[in-house]
A = this chain, B = another copy of it.
């Protein structure tokens, strides 16, 4: 339902409605350009976050859950069965309240564990727990970052953009940190 009269450029003092509309456009841009979310999905996210019956937590969740999670697990691969049971066992060890098994990220975890299993790398709950604990610490940093934004709307937009944009930041810091730790353990001190 297009509302052309409301999308025209506001030059002087922007009305309250104009600000909100610009933020919606920025969120759609963040979803599509940064999150590589399909246009139809971006529209569903907008509907969800405009739903007044949802609290702030569920609006943030709707936005982040819309982000793509890579290839779905290949159910014809026997390694997927092993990976799924490892992922389920990990969930039992974590005290997370949300049902991760229904989250799109669960498929991403199963796919990743399948690749490890297929290459012969043992990866059980004991191996995964340190990474889950680090994810918890990262999430604290992520939410601290979100809370720097004043309005709930800006926070929802930032949740999408920063979840995606901080992924390469984190991965680009992990490799030199590995080199640092390797030097500490195996280096000749040079």
Contacts and interface: CB of A to CB of B under 8 A. Distances in A.
Contact of A64 (B34, B145, B158, B179): B179
Given A176-B100, A182-B143, A57 B187 contact: yes
Contacts of A186: 55-57, 60
A97 interface: yes
A30 to B, nearest CB: 7
Interface string A67-79: 1011000000000
B141 A177 contact: no
A80 interface: no
Interface residues of A, number: 74
A165 B121 contact: yes
B131 A180 contact: no
B173 A109 contact: yes
Nearest to A161: B119
A4 interface: no
Contacts of A121: 158, 161-162, 165
Contact of A135 (B30, B61, B109, B173): B173
A185 interface: yes
B177 A135 contact: yes
Nearest to A171: B167
Contacts of A30: 119
Nearest to A117: B165
B141 A98 contact: no
A131 B138 contact: yes
**What are the nearest 10 A-B pairs in CB distance?**
A135-B173, A108-B172, A112-B168, A139-B177, A109-B172, A135-B177, A139-B181, A57-B186, A130-B141, A57-B187
